[in-house]
Amino acid sequence: MTTIVLDAMGSDNYPDVDVQGALMAAQEYDLDLILVGDEKQIREKIASHLQNKNLPIRIVHAPEMLTMDDKSDDLVRKARHKDAQNSMAIAIDLVKNGEADAFVSAGNTGAAMVTSLFRLGRLKGINRPGLAPTFPTETGKCLVLDIGANPDCKPRNLVEFAIMGSIYVEKVWGVTKPKVGIVSNGEEAGKGSSLVRETYPLLEELDINFTGNVEGKGVIRGEVDVAVTDGFTGNVMLKTAEAVAKLLTNKIKETIMKGNLLTKIGGLLLKPALGTVKEALDPSDVGAAPLLGVDGLVFIGHGSSDANAIKNAIRVAKEAVETDVLDSMREAIEKK
Amino acid sequence: MTTIVLDAMGSDNYPDVDVQGALMAAQEYDLDLILVGDEKQIREKIASHLQNKNLPIRIVHAPEMLTMDDKSDDLVRKARHKDAQNSMAIAIDLVKNGEADAFVSAGNTGAAMVTSLFRLGRLKGINRPGLAPTFPTETGKCLVLDIGANPDCKPRNLVEFAIMGSIYVEKVWGVTKPKVGIVSNGEEAGKGSSLVRETYPLLEELDINFTGNVEGKGVIRGEVDVAVTDGFTGNVMLKTAEAVAKLLTNKIKETIMKGNLLTKIGGLLLKPALGTVKEALDPSDVGAAPLLGVDGLVFIGHGSSDANAIKNAIRVAKEAVETDVLDSMREAIEKK
């Protein structure tokens, strides 16, 4: 049976949202769950849902937690500390020692990355792990990596992202020969920053379906399944995309609120349809981004995750476990 | 009287859209216009609008034009050719020799940049010009530069973009002490690529209102008036933002079309309101992006510009002329 360990102190609304998402996942999917965090708070939260008494959920107490206030130096120190008592470290150690198959957290992204990296180590042959969220596109979705772990990248890093991203999408999403592009400021080969131009020929040599440069609009149009980029560009892309979507929905809401009676009636009639649009573009449907390149399965979600996002993050982690994606990555990196 | 020269062969729908936009501008604004392109085609187009016979428009014939098919090498060769006969070169020469105060084109962006750069030269003290489009934001608009002229930048380039962008927004937009941010993957000082971290202290020393790092979402939220970045990141930002806005409006249309009768009625009632949203976010309202750093006023619009975008580009060019923005930039760069 697949066992997923969840940092119950992760989301902005911990542990309520995290525990609720876990209960939903335990009811819907066939898996064992371990919740790590303040035992008393977690028990109280579970107890408030009486019907859940017999779910396959185990609690492991963690007296401390990492927050947005922990600075980089603290995080590194705590990540390295053998007997760290925070929920992330204890949860990740359960993956390390084989008690759990994958780790999920909606906590501080930097904290989750640093703690995973120091406690699990890197996959053999990987220079730097990459965080890989899913972008909604015109035709479905696209895995973009890296989006923040590495603001400065070398060609080698992008090559590793391409291999890992391609295998992840093939195994976990079930896409045959996923199209892999490198994010650039023009489609033609030869366009791009010096990093892109140096990386391009290396990607051509790989045993992946490399389709060349892809522009920001190409990613959103769904031209590729995997888009590789340095963490700086990826981060700016992700945050711009999220903000534009929000800007547009805010403007629509505002215009409806300020409109005349007919506009308001139109708004009411369209509400369910706009809900469908929101759902189609909702990151909570994907739940969390895999941190590819650490020696273990790690999924990091938005701090603003709701219970549904936590549930989906657990589902995606379970799928990653059951498709043996980590072993496939190991093999591909050795062959490289 | 301010004189603007327009490349009449610029837009995807040349010369119709370009001429129509020029006629609108000539009617609405107090200025002289020169249209450069195929004289016969332009005359026919103007003649089809009888009421425009006495507008202050002069035509200068250009037997050739640059297109998307011109490759970089060709463009450079043509840009350097003393007697180049294409509409861009002839139009830019009118700025160079003082017959016109500013140049506007909706043609091939690369062609317009290269031709401007070689024929006008750079402002004294400027290493590289930057293309500066306007992003719509939650609170208004933000000038972002560079968005494509320079995929690889040095700190010096970003410093120059900051000075020029700040002066442009202060003079042409009338914003007092515009807030200038540097695009980064985190708000805190110290976050960013090595380029951002090296540039940050240099921006702090300038006589501008530097507010530090700004994330992609901060730009869209309207946290700054000017966002400086390398041309690679700026290009990816712009194209991602445009594509996400399009994705969202397409999804809304699709959902309305596929919906039941009430949804469709809602869609009809909301149509004017959604039109208002589109207008608020429409790049055609801004018309064109200034190419800052060349020794002359150059405005480059989208190939997909409509007549309204051309008209607005001409308006913005006129405002730039009349606020003496170029002289202010010269002074600021000398003081630096």
In this prediction, residues A138-148 reach a mean pLDDT of 92
B263–A266 C-beta distance less than 8 A: no
Nearest alpha carbon to residue A113 among A215, A235, A265, A272: A235
Query: Which of A185, A219, A274 has the CB atom closest to B235's CB atom?
Result: A185
Tell me the H-state helices in chain B: 16-28, 39-47, 72-80, 87-96, 109-120, 155-172, 194-204, 216-221, 231-258, 261-280, 307-322, 325-335
Do B192 and B258 reside in the same domain of the chain? no
Do B77 and B176 reside in the same domain of the chain? no
Residues 6 or more apart in contact with residue B296 via CB below 8 angstroms: B92, B95, B96, B102, B103, B116, B120, B326
CA atoms within 13 A on the CB side of B274: 18
If one counts every other C-beta atom within 10 angstroms of the C-beta of residue A76, the result is: 15
A255 CB within 8 Å of a chain B CB = yes
Nearest alpha carbon to residue B178 among B226, B244, B108: B226
pTM of the full predicted structure?
0.91
Cis peptide bond prior to A15, omega within 30° of 0: yes
Q: Out of A49-53, A117-121, A201-205, B137-141, which region has the weakest mean confidence (pLDDT)?
A: A49-53
pLDDT at A8: 96
Domain assignment present for residue B112? The answer is: yes
Domain limit, last residue, from B215, B236, B257? B236
B247–A281 C-beta distance less than 8 A: yes
If one counts every other C-beta atom within 10 angstroms of the C-beta of residue B78, the result is: 20
Domain assignment present for residue A220? The answer is: yes
Query: Which of A185, A244, A263 has the CB atom closest to B220's CB atom?
Result: A244
pLDDT at A52 > cutoff 80: no
Do B223 and B257 reside in the same domain of the chain? no
- Spatial contact of A220 and A140, defined as CB atoms under 8 Å apart: no
If one counts every other C-beta atom within 10 angstroms of the C-beta of residue A71, the result is: 11
Residue A262 C-alpha, separation from nearest chain B C-alpha, in angstroms: 6
Do A29 and A119 reside in the same domain of the chain? yes
Q: What is the pLDDT of residues A198-208, one digit of tens each?
A: 999 999 999 99
* Confidence band, pLDDT 50/70/90 cuts, at residue A166: very high
Torsion sign across C-alpha atoms A141, A143, A147, A153? negative
CA-to-CA distance for B33 and B71, rounded, in angstroms? 30
Residue B69 C-alpha, separation from nearest chain A C-alpha, in angstroms: 13
* Confidence band, pLDDT 50/70/90 cuts, at residue A333: very high
Do A260 and A216 reside in the same domain of the chain? no
pLDDT at A164 > cutoff 90: yes
Q: Which two tokens stand for residue B84?
A: 């180049």
Chosen from A265, A270, A304 to mutate, greatest number of chain B CBs within 10 A = A270
Residues 6 or more apart in contact with residue A50 via CB below 8 angstroms: none
Estimate to the nearest angstrom the gap between the alpha carbon of A286 and the chain centroid.
8
Do B55 and B118 reside in the same domain of the chain? yes
Residue the block writes with tokens 């119950």: A8
Do B155 and B273 reside in the same domain of the chain? no
Distances from the Cα of A112 to the Cα of A229, A290, B187, B331, angstroms = 21, 11, 19, 49
Domain assignment present for residue B334? The answer is: no
pLDDT at B168: 97
Do B9 and B110 reside in the same domain of the chain? yes
pLDDT at B70: 81
Residues 6 or more apart in contact with residue B307 via CB below 8 angstroms: B17, B20, B21, B24
Domain assignment present for residue A334? The answer is: no
- B152 contacts in A (CB within 8 Å)? 193-194
Q: What is the pLDDT of residues A217-250, one digit of tens each?
A: 999 999 999 999 999 999 999 999 989 888 888 8
- B246 contacts in A (CB within 8 Å)? 220
Q: What is the pLDDT of residues A247-293, one digit of tens each?
A: 888 888 888 888 888 888 888 887 777 777 776 666 666 779 999 99
pLDDT at B135: 92
pLDDT at A157 > cutoff 90: yes
A249 CB within 8 Å of a chain B CB = yes
Question: Partners of A130 in the beta sheet?
Answer: A292
User: How many separate domains does chain B show?
Assistant: 3
Residue the block writes with tokens 């009449």: B8
Residue A312 C-alpha, separation from nearest chain B C-alpha, in angstroms: 23
Do A173 and A266 reside in the same domain of the chain? no
pLDDT at A281: 67
ipTM: 0.89
Question: Partners of B141 in the beta sheet?
Answer: B136
Residue B333 C-alpha, separation from nearest chain A C-alpha, in angstroms: 27
Residue of B nearest to A151 (CA): B193
Do A103 and A20 reside in the same domain of the chain? yes
Report the side by side order of strands in the sheet with A297-300: A57-61, A32-37, A3-7, A102-105, A297-300, A289-292, A130-131
CA-to-CA distance for A152 and A148, rounded, in angstroms? 10
Domain assignment present for residue A331? The answer is: no
Classify residue B284 by its DSSP letter. G
Do A27 and A102 reside in the same domain of the chain? yes
Do B76 and B143 reside in the same domain of the chain? no
B56 CB within 8 Å of a chain A CB = no
Which portions of chain B are predicted below pLDDT 70? 50-53, 279-285
Domain assignment present for residue B330? The answer is: no
Nearest alpha carbon to residue A215 among B144, B72, B147, B181: B147
- Residues of chain A with pLDDT > 70, as a percent, come to 96
The CATH number that applies at residue A106 is 3.40.718.10
Domain assignment present for residue B331? The answer is: no
Domain assignment present for residue B333? The answer is: no
Torsion of the alpha carbons at B180, B185, B188 and B193, rounded to the nearest 10 = -90
Q: Which helix (H) or strand (E) holds A235?
A: helix A231-258
pLDDT at A336 > cutoff 90: no
pLDDT at A71: 81
Range of the domain at B174: 134-236
pLDDT at A43 > cutoff 90: yes
- A268 contacts in B (CB within 8 Å)? 266
